[in-house]
Amino acid sequence: MNIYHSNKLPGRIVETSDGQEFLWFSGTDYLGMGHNEDLRRHLQTATETFGNHYGSSRNNSLRLSVYDDAERQLADFLQTKALLIVSSGMWAGQLLMKEIEAIALDGSNAISVSYYYAPGVHPALWGNAFDRTYGGWHEWASRTVQQINESAPEILHIICSDAVGSPTVKAFDFNLFNALENPQNVWLIIDESHSLGVFGTNGRGISSSIGSKLWPQTMFASSLNKAMGIPAGAIWGAESAIEIIRKSPWFAGASPPAPAYVYALKTLLEEGIYSEAHALLMEKVSYFSQKLVGNTLFESLPDYPVFCSDNAALFDHLLRNGMMASCFPYPSPADAPVTRIAISSLHQKEDLDQLAEVCKRFIG
């Protein structure tokens, strides 16, 4: 696997350290926030007020109200009752997993807990009794429902899954869990890192696909550093669960993200900037998808900006034609490399025209 270095943040273009330029079709900056002028302006303004960082506990006797303000704004955007912002998406998932048994067993008569980890679930949700699962997601979900329905009533069940497959793009049908006979004994934990800002109305994610029976006991964790462009993470769901996490020593002992970025997040949400960028992204994805009608090279989903191929030779073909995607083993070195193309709201239609033409030439 070849490695390339750059001294500049990619946008539409990536410039490598040896002076080469490529059209950039990689990363997770789906909404183009890495070069968004509104985000940059709000950061500059906020740094004058909040400084460069804040290394204090969120539970300190002095508390910056910008965190609470941003949490209310993001909760309103996500149409959820309670939300916490933490330092990263990985920590959001791990913090939730550290406290999930306390959350699930609160007020419960259960005497034991069973975990069910989806195939390919992100390491952010690796918790107690983690055992890597192989096979298809649909088969795993159906098997999980059957196992839970056949289990003793005093067992509490925790299901962990990504919202969408990554790096290989896969859609997951959470309606399968509507067949659970005793949903009050089940907690569903979902990592929204690759769907937040992209899926759903205005990029609100996949929450609308969760059935009403399981919704009260569904918790979400996500990076905000992908589509949203904020180096932070978030956890949201039931108010009682968020209150348990807020009181956790794992939350109290961790520094929060820089307040200037949290202020920028709040302001971008207030101004509707994310919704505007999402609408622009959907236009670009639709435009490119139409050019690939009948093309069997990629695994892709409707209205999703990632196109994947298990053909590693595609990466080199793109490079030879002035384009850079990504191709590396993920999440572990033992995994097979996937050639991954990502479109962002920064791309122009002529960029997408070139990309489609080069992909067509690859398959002959």
- In the chain, residues under CATH classification 3.90.1150.10 are 13-30+273-362
Count of beta carbons in the 10 Å neighbourhood of residue 11:
15
Integer-rounded Cα Rg, in Å, for the chain is 21
Architecture of domain 38-271: 3-Layer(aba) Sandwich (3.40)
Other beta carbons within 10 Å of 334: 6
pLDDT at site 335: 74
Where would I find the H helices in the chain?
Answer: 37-50, 65-78, 89-105, 137-149, 239-246, 249-252, 259-271, 273-291, 313-320, 349-362
> What's residue 364's pLDDT?
66
Question: ∠ at Cα 88 (83, 91), nearest 5°?
Answer: 80
Residue % of the chain over a pLDDT of 90 = 88
Average pLDDT of the chain is 94
Q: State residue 321's pLDDT score.
A: 97
Per-residue confidence band for 261, with pLDDT thresholds at 50, 70 and 90: very high
pLDDT at 166: 84
Q: What is the mean pLDDT of residues 11-21?
A: 95
Residue that wins the pLDDT comparison between 289 and 328: 289
Nearest alpha carbon to residue 238 among 116, 121, 99: 99
108 — pLDDT class (breaks 50, 70, 90): confident
**Is pLDDT at 101 greater than 70 in this prediction?**
yes
More confident residue, 347 or 364: 347
Q: How far is CA 152 from the centre of its chain?
A: 34
Q: Do residues 173 and 210 lie in contact, with contact meaning Cβ atoms separated by under 8 Å?
A: no
Fold of 13-30+273-362: Aspartate Aminotransferase, domain 1 (3.90.1150)
CB under 8 Å to 142, separation ≥6 — which residues? Answer: 176
Q: What per-residue confidence (pLDDT) applies to 107? A: 84
pLDDT value at position 295? 77
Q: How confident is the model at residue 117 (pLDDT cuts 50, 70, 90)?
A: very high
pLDDT at 238 over 80: yes
> By C-alpha distance, which of 257, 268, 255 is closest to 50?
257
Query: How confident is the model at residue 167, as a pLDDT?
Result: 78
* CA dist., res. 15 & res. 134, Å (int): 38
Q: At 1, is the pLDDT very low, low, confident or very high (cuts 50, 70, 90)?
A: low
Q: Where in the chain is the domain with CATH 3.40.640.10?
A: 38-271
pLDDT at residue 331, rounded to an integer: 66
User: pTM (2 decimals)?
Assistant: 0.95
Mean pLDDT value across residues 168-177: 94
pLDDT tens digits, one per residue of 285-325 = 999 999 988 778 899 999 999 999 988 899 999 999 999 99
Pair 214, 184: CB distance under 8 Å: no
Per-residue model confidence (pLDDT) at position 47: 96
**Residue 81 to residue 243: CA distance in whole angstroms:** 11
pLDDT score recorded for residue 336: 75
Residue 79, pLDDT above cutoff 70? yes
